[in-house]
Structure 1
Amino acid sequence: MNVSEEQTMIDRLNAMHEFPGDFIFKVIGENEPTFVSRVVQAAVNAIGESGGVDVDTRESGKGRHVAVTLSARVQSPQMVLEVYGLLKAVQGVRFML
């Protein structure tokens, strides 16, 4: 993402959310033993242990995929983009919302 695209995303996040505040991240990926823990660790790496990350999971009907919903207190739109950047790098991620 170039500087202009990043600023556009920051502007949109500021328009739609109040910071600091709670933010929900959704990640869908392969349902394998360490996927959820890798997703949670990526979020904690960006937010920090003190931010607290609530986790909810749901398997797909056939059990091949798992949806991970993370709710966390974020301090800024830049932190949201940092979390998404780290989540994007997690092996097995198929979609992010």
Structure 2
Amino acid sequence: MSLPSVELLESRHTFPGPYTFKVIGSAEANFTGRVIAHVRDELRMELDPPYSLRSTKKGDHVSITIEPECESPQQVIAIYSRLTGMDGLFMLL
């Protein structure tokens, strides 16, 4: 996956502000918890950012929409970098 550039992020979003990440992965091995933990760690948050979940009918995959407050495009890129290497990741938008 290629990461978005700072210029692209700045042209499409206002910083600081919320940024929406869509993460799809395996429903096993605490995938959701690991995604939330990566975002919290990167942004040094004490509480979980707003997020919602959707599971497939079989329950073997989960889609996580997470909307943390990001101060800069560099933070968005750093979160993408952390998430791209996760075990169980199928898609990141």
Tell me the TM-score normalized by structure 2. Answer: 0.89
Unaligned runs of 5+ in 2: none
Runs of 4+ in 1 over 3 A off after TM superposition: none
RMSD: 2.1
Query: How many residues in Structure 1 have an aligned counterpart in Structure 2?
Result: 93
Using the alignment, how far apart are the partners of 2:26 and 2:10 within structure 1? 32
* Aligned twin of 1:38: 34
Rounded Cα–Cα distance in structure 2 between residues aligned with 1:32 and 1:78: 30
Between structures 1 and 2, the one with greater strand share: 1
**Which has the higher mean CA deviation after the structures are superposed, 80-89 or 49-58?**
49-58
> Could you tell me how far apart the structure 2 residues matched to 1:60 and 1:70 are?
18
Separation in structure 1 between the aligned mates of residue 9 and residue 46 of structure 2, nearest angstrom? 22
| Contact residue 51 and residue 73 of structure 1 kept, 8 A | no
Question: Tell me, which stretches of 5 or more residues in structure 1 are unaligned?
Answer: none
Larger radius of gyration: 1
The TM-score with structure 1 as length reference comes to 0.86
Could you say which structure has the higher helix fraction?
1
- Note the C-alpha offset of 1:51: 7.6
Q: How does 1:2-13 map to 2 (within 5 A)?
A: 9-13=5-9
Letter matched to residue 42 of structure 1: H
State the identity as a percent: 31
